[in-house]
Structure 1
Amino acid sequence: MKHLMPLLLALVVAFGAACSFADETLPSGPAAGQAAPEFRLQDQKGDWHTLKGEHGKWLVLYFYPKDFTPGCTTEVCAYRDDIVALRKAGADVLGVSLDDVKSHAEFAEKYHVPFRLLSDADGKVAKAYGVYVKRGPMEYARRETFLIDPQGIVAKRYTDVDPKENSKQVLTDLDGFKQSKH
């Protein structure tokens, strides 16, 4: 049953994208130029992290629907494969979903994830960032990425995320932002 849930979620998300039926979404969340909402979430090891704790460095905060689903696995592996370049560019990466700490631990172990996956089990952070979705009984974070500058301001919000290409887009944009500040 545990492994059936990600497949069911993937089908619901795909069906929801193709069809229009009632869903609950919340405020739009921060746009580029606005302060990123504060958060306090646990990672896959049970350690707590806050936005304030990331102050002084670039942050890639990416939201994704569900551990072990095809698109989310593609995305986490793309970020994993680009982590050295992202860190060299001065950015830290945090993945966020509504999955619990245990699920993140299993996901991170299976795919050798070298960055933190944060559990937003109650959806409060997803709601603050405007990415929370409820469709029938399913709740998840919409796939979006926020590139946050060292002062905690959203530099760019990615709303139409390609899980395979997003980390490369972020790297390109990060380089552009850093070049424009010189």
Structure 2
Amino acid sequence: MMKRLLPGCLLSSMIIFTAVAADLKKGDGAPDFEAQASFGGKPFAYSLKESRAKGPVVVYFYPTAYGRGCSVQAHTFAVNHDKFTAAGATIVGVSLDSIDRLNEFSADPNYCASKFPVASDVNGRIANAYGLTVDESTIGRKDVRGVQVDHGSIARTTFIVTPDGKIAAALGGLKPAENVAKALEAVEQLAALSKKISE
């Protein structure tokens, strides 16, 4: 029994790569959430609790679907999806976008490419639970397609959530591709630590 408990305890003690302006930090409990999400253009009910039961989850908050940096980030996550899977991790994006926008974004081969789900947090409830605030001043901006965005934005922030529901790393203040690289580094460290413990 003790051997079973050790991985979760040790995995939760990972370092924070970059400080973020969020209330939650390494070792804190990650708020579980359920939300309408889209995967491959199809809506479904996403549950963080169910996802983390299978392994670490990369929960990444981003300003908007089809945003300039958000498009780079989604594409980079999609391109590196197999590496996250090899480390035993899953990915979920969270934004203030409506499910209709996310259906397009999740299936778009240039962005999410049907590799991972993106969840709709239209009222900012999930973001707020993670200590992130909504910037309403960005309402009315245009995305990379020239379509007006009718919601505010959340700062680009990524949390690595362990199977026992703890935050192993929090990443903020990074460029989109760097954010993905640091998230991959974090889950690969978790995988290596878990393997070492089980040997």
User: Cα deviation per residue 1:58-98 (whole Å; 9 max; x = unaligned)?
Assistant: 10000000111110000000000000110111000000100
Please name the residue that 2:123 is paired with.
122
TM-score, normalising length: structure 2:
0.73
Q: Is the 1:145–1:161 Cα contact (8 Å) retained in structure 2?
A: no
Query: Matched residues in 2 for 1:178 and 1:55: separation?
Result: 14
- Structure 2 counterpart of 1:86, which letter? F
Q: Percent identity?
A: 28
The answer for the alignment partner of 2:143 in structure 1 is none
Match of residue 132 from structure 2: 131
Rate the CA distance shift 1:91–1:130 in 2: closer, same or farther, 3 A: same
Structure 1 unaligned regions, length at least 5:
1-26
Distance 2:71 2:88 in 1: 24
Displacement of 1:38: 1.5
Aligned equivalents of 1:42, 1:76: Cα separation in 2: 18
Of the candidates 38, 45, 48, which is equivalent to residue 45 of structure 2? Answer: 48
TM-score by length of 1: 0.80
CA–CA separation in structure 1 for the residues paired with 2:162 and 2:81: 17
Residue 135 to residue 121, structure 1, CA distance change in 2 (3 Å):
closer
Counterparts in 2 of 1:1-182, with a 5 A limit?
28-44=22-38, 45-56=42-53, 57-110=55-108, 111=110, 112-136=113-137, 138=139, 139-181=152-194, 182=196
The CA deviation at 1:176 is: 1.9
1:172 Cα deviation after fit = 1.6
Q: How far is the alpha carbon of 1:167 from its aligned partner?
A: 1.9
CA deviation string 1:112-146 (max 9, x = no partner): 23110100011100111122222447322110000
Alpha-carbon RMSD across the aligned residues, in angstroms, is 1.6
- Structure 2 portions without partners, runs of 5+: 1-20, 140-151
